[in-house]
Chains A and B, each alone.
Chain A
Amino acid sequence: MRPIGNLELAGSALLVLLLALLHLRSSPRLSRDLLISMLRLILQLSLIALVLNLLFAQQNPWTVAAIGLVMVASAGWEVRRRLKKRPLMQNLFRVSFFSMFLSSYVMCIFALTLITRAEPWYHPQYAIPLLGMLLGNTMNGISLGLSRLQENFSNNRAVVEHRLMMGEDMWQASSLQRQEALTAAMIPTINGMAAAGLVSLPGMMTGQILAGADPEMAVRYQIMIFLLIAAGTGFGSWLAIYLGTRQSFDERQRLRSPKAPASH
């Protein structure tokens, strides 16, 4: 593996810098956002490298679990931040945190104990990257699913309410909106799997091959990761949509409105 030094990294940063300069006059905001997120990327990933080195030396399962929880919590905040409108569902953070936690932890433990089978199984070299990969993708799915559910409920309020008036319960009345939200949550994963290798080389595999790994092994790992992501995103967004729907109706099964202040 050819090591990459600071000079080489600075070279790639120069390209983004150039791009930001190019747009400075016409859209200063875009340039600013671009630069800030570039700095965040460099800073956050450098920190992670330090943390990973520390973790690898320690191999304490509780530290691994704690780091994982911090990751899930930040993902939960991210889901909340991405919702544009005021949510009509209550406890949005709890809904996304819980569904992300359950799906990514279960998938991760499944993969670590039955597939990678490292010694010990929670070895941070496997556990942390796997969890990160899973979380990033389930977060996208859950965030897509929940914001689509919100949109569907506000755009189709009349339909959902009319179905309730006809005596349907909240699950029947919201069935079309829930199905559509679940599809929206799963489509990026489904498309990603279908296009892998033909249109795009998945990032993880590319990184491994660039770092000198055997392509066949890299592909095997990539397939495993993809399948775990599909299952994790699927179960996670299904759970989030289920919980989100419950939180969108009040105790008399009426669709909440976003104006109502949260009661708890």
Chain B
Amino acid sequence: MQAELEITSLQVTPLQPWSGRFQAGELISITGASGSGKSRFLLALADMTAHEGSIRWRRQEQASLPPPQWRSKVMLLPSNPSWWFASARDHFQQGPTDKDLEALRLNQSLLDVPVEQLSTGEKQRLALLRVLDRNPEVLLLDEATANLDDEGALAVESLLLRWLREAPRLIFWSSHHREQIKRLSGRELHIDHGCIRERKP
């Protein structure tokens, strides 16, 4: 079977060269101590940091696409999302559906509140909807549920699992939450001392 995402001799400091192949529909956990290079790995996939080696998504080479086009397909949500317009709604292109908002226990009125008045958890969930609003194909999530309570984390998980099944998509997800990793991912990439190793979640 043809791999959908193909990483060949990826080299990004502080990590050692690494290759791997992934099929659509997979949810892969990235684990390791803080500072081990989880974020660097995700940044390289999004072409947001200098790196060597080749990354292909559906036979398209990262280096051959204009960066904005690649990043629209392979989209990274950083652990501290930024907001640059006054209200959350200004950041959306289509706007989130009521269904998605409800799934994350949010509502339309939050979208028009000045962003500074939203709680960290609300901002984190809205940032996720904002990313889905741009229709990426590969989603790179850096600690996407770090500021959420268990209930909020579960809501995000089920929304993401539904999203993953809707089309040929892929999720990379860095997390510290052991139970979450076991519950969700089919594969786990563990980073230790610059080495990426695949292991059973």
Residues of A within 8 A of B (CB): 156, 158-159, 161-169, 176, 250, 252-254
Contacts and interface: CB of A to CB of B under 8 A. Distances in A.
Contacts of A169: 66-68
A158 B134 contact: no
Given A158-B82, A159-B82, A254-B48, A165 B68 contact: no
24 contacts: A158-B78, A158-B82, A159-B82, A161-B48, A162-B78, A162-B84, A163-B84, A165-B77, A166-B71, A166-B75, A166-B130, A167-B69, A167-B72, A167-B136, A168-B68, A169-B66, A176-B84, A252-B47, A252-B67, A253-B67, A253-B68, A254-B47, A254-B50, A254-B67
B48 A165 contact: yes
Nearest to B127: A162
Interface of B: 46-50, 66-69, 71-72, 75-78, 80-84, 130-131, 134, 136
B134 A167 contact: yes
B45 to A, nearest CB: 11
A158 B46 contact: no
A252 B49 CA distance: 9
Nearest to B49: A254
Contacts of A156: 84
Given A252-B47, A254-B48, A254-B49, A164 B67 contact: yes
B46 A165 contact: yes
B47 A166 contact: no
A163 B46 CA distance: 12
Contact of A167 (B68, B77, B80): B68
Contacts of A164: 48, 67-68, 71
A166 B69 CA distance: 10
| Interface SS, B side | loop
Contacts of B72: 166-167
B75 A167 contact: yes
Q: Which 7 A-B pairs have the closest CB atoms?
A: A167-B72, A253-B67, A162-B82, A159-B82, A169-B68, A165-B76, A167-B71
Contacts of B47: 252, 254
Contacts of B48: 161, 164-165, 254
A163 B67 CA distance: 12
Contacts of B77: 165
Nearest to B131: A166
A156 B136 CA distance: 24
Contacts of A176: 84
Contacts of B78: 158, 161-162, 165
Contacts of A161: 48, 78
B80 to A, nearest CB: 7
A168 B47 CA distance: 13
A119 to B, nearest CB: 54
A252 B43 CA distance: 13
Query: Which of B47, B67, B69, B130 is packed against the most chain A CB atoms within 10 Å?
Result: B67
Nearest to B136: A167
Given A156-B84, A162-B81, A168-B68, 4 more contacts: A163-B82, A165-B48, A169-B67, A253-B68
A168 B76 CA distance: 12
A166 B71 CA distance: 6
B140 to A, nearest CB: 9
Contacts of B66: 169, 253
A121 B82 CA distance: 55
A156 B85 CA distance: 13
A34 B14 CA distance: 51
Contacts of B46: 165
Nearest to B67: A253
A250 B67 CA distance: 11
Contacts of A253: 66-68
A156 B84 CA distance: 9
Contacts of B75: 165-167
Contacts of B76: 165
A165 B84 contact: no
